[in-house]
């Protein structure tokens, strides 16, 4: 487990990897939703999840599902940083025959638990994994499922929300990366999925709402979820789409984008400055 | 001839599998009294998950269980499995080659009373179009038992098509996944059928025999991977081929056989549901007759091809 400053550093390393994966040669990638998830992923992989990168099927592991699978490059980044595969593999993302597909693929990428990205389905898969953990008495383990707030429009999310409460899955933690933007603009102005906390409470979940870029708040929320019995916990993580790349922050245009050379250099320079600062500590 | 329930065969077989393997689990979407998954619920309540009336969620949940090492049997009506849960089967189960076994129950027109919304006339087309998925279409209760056992042995997803009404037993205790099986030898015409239409095919062979025509009846109980080679070999042994299915002519047995015979000189024709939905009726027999899914229809097609 890493300390909080290491986790902050990891989050910016994820951002750096994501920017490099997108590059500036015409390829596109989901920059906005990857950057909004960076602290969530960094706290999970760096500070919470039990796993062994060299033994991805290790029985004692916790399970992680990135239901917002379009931001797969962020998951690949954190997995590479944690040692699941060499970092060089990141630069092959979406190449023909690559182990890193546009959306997570369990057969191609060791450590990916299940395919996600047809939005709305990850939480149901997580329910299945949580049921197995109960059946097989892995009581110390948890399933963490990161969803998008645009994804909240998918009806299956709420089917799974009911199922998780029905089965009293206190070993299941949902995390909503609430960056307030979907592909075409502000969620509130398009198909309003708010209010979220009230909805999840109404469905019977334990709800924790926090700043999704606050590493300590995230770690505390996981701890609170771990010790909340009898029902599942959802963490509404308020985030900024494109966080950490100033020109992309809060802009739907960077949901799935390519980068000009200038944008690329600016983005890397901003992230590198923070990495240099954090590395001093 | 004595008739037996494919649904009961399904329920009893998953109970047997549950006894043999603690990793077998079952999921249901409130149709357990029809699909007979309730038998598993009675035997292994801790391994049975009533997922509510939420078929899509059921399939994804089964995917999660399967990704965690379970063999997850899901049952619902065929129309909901192949229709409502198509995306869940495709995206997570099939792409991920997960050990999810889907029982599409009350398939074809067999749920005669409930009408078009509950009658799956295109499930084979949809399911066979998905890569990585195995599709079984057993002919009777005995074959359901063998198909369910075979499904449990296969590493990966399987769709098993089951009908609602009791069927006579024509299979002989042998089930080879991926292979056509000959139920009755003959050398003038081959009738290839699956599911409920095997009975019509057997009756058609009797009628043809009385007219001096020797009909071979072939059971196509695996629709994927489809035994195209078996069809091609058959085409060399007979003068004509007729297919029979309680399914749309598009994407089912007729389509698969026509594709297999694309370079053959042996003529083929089909008995299938035209490109339209079902409807309610007071009996399955009445409905099958209305849609032309009868022994007589098979006989007519066979004679027309042989003339």
- Reported as half-sphere exposure (CB side, CA atoms, 13 A), residue B105 has a value of 30
A254 DSSP 8-state letter: G
Query: What architecture is domain A4-280?
Result: 3-Layer(aba) Sandwich (3.40)
Q: What is the DSSP string of A4-39?
A: HHHHHHHHHHHHHHHHHHH-SSS--B-HHHHHHTHH
Listed in sequence order, the residues at least 6 apart from A71 whose beta carbon sits closer than 8 Å to its beta carbon are A30, A33, A34, A37, A148
Element (H, E) at A274: helix A261-280
The pLDDT value given to residue B134: 98
pTM: 0.97
The pLDDT value given to residue B65: 98
What is the rounded CA–CA span in Å between residue A157 and residue A137? 26
Tell me if A121 and B60 make a contact (CB, 8 A cut-off): yes
Q: Which of B57, B93, B156 to probe the A interface (max A CBs under 10 A)?
A: B57
Tell me if B88 and A121 make a contact (CB, 8 A cut-off): yes
- The mean pLDDT of B244-266, rounded to a whole number, is 98
- Residues of chain A in contact with residue B70, where contact means CB-CB under 8 angstroms, are 132, 135
Using left for φ > 0, alpha for ψ between -120 and 50, and beta otherwise, residue B52 falls in left
Among candidate residues B74, B23, B69, the one with its CA nearest the CA of residue B44: B23
Q: Which residue has tokens 């450590």?
A: A111
pLDDT at B125 over 90: yes
Q: Which of B22, B55, B60 to probe the A interface (max A CBs under 10 A)?
A: B60
Alpha-carbon gap: A103 to the closest alpha carbon of chain B (Å): 11
What is the rounded CA–CA span in Å between residue A217 and residue A14? 19
Q: For chain A, what are the domain ranges?
A: 4-280
Alpha-carbon gap: B156 to the closest alpha carbon of chain A (Å): 12
Contact A259/A198 with Cβ under 8 angstroms?
A: no
Domains of chain B: 3-168 (3.40.50.970), 181-306 (3.40.50.920)
Strands (E), chain B: 3-4, 24-28, 48-50, 71-77, 100-105, 134-136, 158-161, 167-168, 181-184, 189-193, 215-219, 222-224, 240-248, 268-273
- The mean pLDDT of A62-67, rounded to a whole number, is 98
DSSP alpha helices (H): ranges in A167-214?
187-190, 196-202
pLDDT at B43 over 80: yes
From B16, B46, B50, B55, the catalytic residue: B55
What are B15-28's pLDDT values in tens digits?
Answer: 999 999 999 999 99
- Residues of chain A in contact with residue B96, where contact means CB-CB under 8 angstroms, are 105-107, 114-115
The pLDDT value given to residue A280: 87
Q: Cis omega (within 30 of 0) on the bond before B225? A: yes
What is the rounded CA–CA span in Å between residue A172 and residue B64? 12
Q: Which residues of A touch B (CB under 8 A)?
A: 63, 105-107, 113-118, 121, 124-133, 135-136, 156, 159-160, 162-163, 166-167
Could you tell me how far CA A212 lies from the centroid of its own chain?
11
pLDDT at A73 over 70: yes
A74 falls in which pLDDT band (50, 70, 90)?
very high
Tell me if B57 and A125 make a contact (CB, 8 A cut-off): no
B106 falls in which pLDDT band (50, 70, 90)?
very high
Could you tell me how far CA B294 lies from the centroid of its own chain?
17
- The mean pLDDT of B58-62, rounded to a whole number, is 98
pLDDT at A281 over 70: no
Give the number of other Cβ atoms within 10 Å of residue B44's Cβ.
Answer: 17
The pLDDT value given to residue B44: 98
User: Which residue of B49, B52, B90 is in closest CB contact with A131?
Assistant: B49
The pLDDT value given to residue B32: 97
Alpha-carbon gap: A180 to the closest alpha carbon of chain B (Å): 25
The answer to whether the Cα torsion of B219, B224, B230, B232 is positive or negative is positive
Is B55 among the residues known to form the active site? yes
The pLDDT value given to residue B72: 98
- Residues of chain B in contact with residue A116, where contact means CB-CB under 8 angstroms, are 92
What are A83-138's pLDDT values in tens digits?
Answer: 999 999 999 999 999 999 999 999 999 999 999 989 999 999 999 999 999 999 99
User: Which residue of A129, A135, A136 is in closest CB contact with B67?
Assistant: A129
Per the DSSP assignment, residues forming a β-bridge with B222 are B136
What is the rounded CA–CA span in Å between residue B121 and residue B145? 23
What are A188-236's pLDDT values in tens digits?
Answer: 999 999 999 999 999 999 999 999 999 999 999 999 999 999 999 999 9
* CB contact residues (below 8 A), chain B span 29-48, against chain A: 46-47
If DSSP codes are grouped into helix, strand and coil, which group holds residue A165?
Answer: helix
Which whole-number Å values give the CA distances from A263 to A91, A115, A238, A275, B29, in the listed order?
18, 31, 25, 18, 50
Tell me if A124 and B97 make a contact (CB, 8 A cut-off): no
- The mean pLDDT of A53-62, rounded to a whole number, is 97
User: Which residue of A63, A127, A136 is in closest CB contact with B61?
Assistant: A127
A253 exposed, middle or buried (CB, 10 Å; 0-12, 13-18, 19+)? middle
The pLDDT value given to residue A50: 98
Tell me if B97 and A166 make a contact (CB, 8 A cut-off): no
User: Which residue of B69, B88, B90 is in closest CB contact with A132?
Assistant: B69
Average pLDDT, chain B: 98
């Amino acid at each position: 487990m890493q300390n909080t400053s290491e986790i902050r550093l990891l989050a910016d390393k994820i951002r750096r990897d994501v920017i490099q994966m997108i590059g500036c040669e015409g390829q596109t990638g989901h920059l906005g939703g990857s950057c909004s998830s960076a602290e969530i992923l960094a706290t999970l992989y760096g500070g919470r999840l039990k796993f062994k990168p060299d033994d991805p099927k290790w029985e004692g592991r916790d399970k992680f599902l990135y239901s917002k699978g379009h931001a797969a490059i962020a998951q690949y980044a954190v997995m590479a940083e944690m040692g699941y595969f060499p970092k060089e593999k990141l630069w092959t993302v979406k190449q023909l025959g690559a182990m890193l597909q546009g959306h997570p693929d369990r057969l191609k990428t060791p450590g990916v638990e299940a395919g996600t990205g047809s939005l709305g389905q990850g939480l149901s898969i997580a329910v299945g994994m949580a049921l197995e953990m109960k059946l097989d008495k892995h009581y110390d383990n948890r399933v963490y499922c990161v969803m998008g707030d645009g994804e909240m429009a998918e009806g299956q999310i709420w089917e799974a929300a009911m199922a998780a409460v029905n089965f009293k899955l206190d070993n299941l933690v949902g995390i909503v990366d609430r960056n307030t933007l979907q592909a075409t603009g502000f969620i509130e102005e398009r198909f309003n999925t708010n209010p979220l906390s009230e909805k999840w409470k109404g469905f019977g979940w334990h709800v924790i709402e926090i700043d999704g870029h606050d590493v300590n708040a995230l770690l505390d929320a996981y701890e609170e979820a771990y010790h909340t019995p009898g029902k599942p916990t959802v963490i509404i993580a308020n985030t900024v789409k494109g966080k950490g790349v100033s020109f992309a922050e809060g802009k739907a245009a960077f949901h799935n984008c390519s980068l000009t050379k200038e944008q690329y250099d600016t983005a890397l320079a901003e992230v590198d400055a923070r990495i240099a600062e954090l590395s001093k500590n | 001839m004595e008739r037996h329930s494919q649904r009961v065969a399904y329920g009893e077989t998953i109970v047997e599998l549950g006894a043999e393997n603690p990793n077998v689990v079952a999921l249901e979407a409130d149709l357990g009294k029809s699909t007979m998954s309730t038998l598993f619920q009675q035997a292994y309540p801790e391994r049975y998950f009533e997922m509510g009336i939420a078929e899509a969620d059921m399939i994804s949940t089964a995917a999660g269980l399967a990704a965690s090492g379970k063999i997850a049997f899901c049952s619902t009506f065929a129309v909901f499995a192949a229709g409502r849960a198509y995306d869940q089967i495709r995206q997570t189960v099939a792409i991920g080659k997960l050990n999810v076994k889907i029982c599409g129950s009350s398939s074809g027109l067999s749920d005669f009373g409930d009408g078009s919304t509950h009658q799956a006339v295109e499930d084979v087309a949809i399911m066979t179009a998905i890569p990585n998925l195995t599709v079984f279409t057993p002919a009777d209760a005995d074959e359901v038992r063998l198909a369910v056992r075979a499904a449990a042995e296969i590493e990966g997803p399987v769709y098993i098509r089951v009908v609602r009404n009791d069927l006579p037993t024509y299979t002989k205790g042998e089930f080879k996944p991926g292979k056509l099986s000959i139920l009755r030898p003959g050398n003038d015409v081959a009738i290839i059928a699956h599911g409920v239409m095997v009975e019509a095919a057997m009756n058609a062979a009797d009628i043809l025999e009385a007219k001096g025509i020797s009909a071979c009846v072939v059971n196509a109980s695996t629709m994927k991977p489809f035994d195209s080679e078996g069809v091609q070999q058959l085409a060399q042994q007979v003068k004509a081929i007729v297919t029979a299915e309680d399914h749309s002519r598009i994407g089912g047995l007729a389509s698969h056989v026509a594709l297999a015979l694309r370079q053959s000189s042996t003529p083929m024709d089909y008995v299938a549901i035209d490109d339209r939905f079902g409807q309610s009726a007071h009996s399955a027999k009445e409905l099958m007759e209305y849609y032309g899914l009868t022994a007589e229809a098979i006989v007519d097609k066979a004679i027309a091809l042989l003339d």
